[in-house]
Amino acid sequence: MQPWEWLVQEVGHDLGYALGVRIPKRHVQALSLSLVIGMGACSSKAPTTAVAPAQRFRLTTIQELMEGQIDPAADALWASVAIIQSPSGTEDRQPRTDAEWLGVRAHAIALIEATNLLSMPGRRVKSGDSPVGAGELSAAEIQQRIDASHDSFVRFASLLQDAALKALAAINAKDPQGLMDAGGLIDEACEACHVTYWYPSQRRSGS
């Protein structure tokens, strides 16, 4: 098989996944054949280099994922249900309209998928070794802990995913109390990973 034929098949597969459909191999081959015919019409020279699969992902750091996706999505979920007492009275905050529920749902989806991104092998904790706060491990130390057992790190990420899936189920059922409870589980899942990898000296006795 020519490298570009392989690439076309890979793209066919990826396209299928991106569209959420499973393209059977024979269809991918048919697709590559039609693309080959199409390509032949444009150019008689086939590309000679293919991108190796391992190089196809460009990963941002765990820190960037925390700041850019996980923290904002979790904050939005936590803020969506609350009982707020103030001198002017008690606000029972919760999504009410379909549009509000849909908005909260998007944050749950973002959080669920971010845990998949968090679990991808090869994602580094952060770039450089900036100064750390009291009780925090350095980037090198965090990285060492993750590298010692990536499976354990993934288990912590899936705890967060389980909690976020509970939030999604509550949102689908338009159940504010369920969403509040799931918010508590999300908080616990964040903390469990942080005390293991980021600031282990702050682990409370008995927890």
Q: Which residues bind ligand HEC (CB under 6 A)?
A: 62-63, 66-67, 70-71, 74, 118, 125-126, 142, 153, 156-157, 160, 186, 189-190, 193-194, 197-198
Shortest gap between Cβ of 125 and ligand HEC (angstroms)? 5
The residue among 28 and 139 lying less far from ligand HEC, judged by its C-beta, is: 139
Nearest-10 crossing angle of helices 150-172, 176-197: 170
**Helices marked H in the chain — which ranges?**
3-18, 25-42, 62-65, 71-80, 98-119, 139-148, 150-172, 176-197
> End-to-end distance of the chain based on CA atoms, in angstroms?
57
The residue among 31 and 160 lying less far from ligand HEC, judged by its C-beta, is: 160
Dump the DSSP string for 135-196. TPPPHHHHHHHHHH-HHHHHHHHHHHHHHHHHHHHHHHTT-HHHHHHHHHHHHHHHHHHHHH
The residue among 89 and 128 lying less far from ligand HEC, judged by its C-beta, is: 128
Inter-CA distances, 193 with 61, 122, 196, 201, 203, Å: 16, 18, 5, 13, 11
The residue among 23 and 160 lying less far from ligand HEC, judged by its C-beta, is: 160
Shortest gap between Cβ of 48 and ligand HEC (angstroms)? 41
Shortest gap between Cβ of 93 and ligand HEC (angstroms)? 19
Shortest gap between Cβ of 68 and ligand HEC (angstroms)? 10
Shortest gap between Cβ of 85 and ligand HEC (angstroms)? 24
The residue among 16 and 72 lying less far from ligand HEC, judged by its C-beta, is: 72
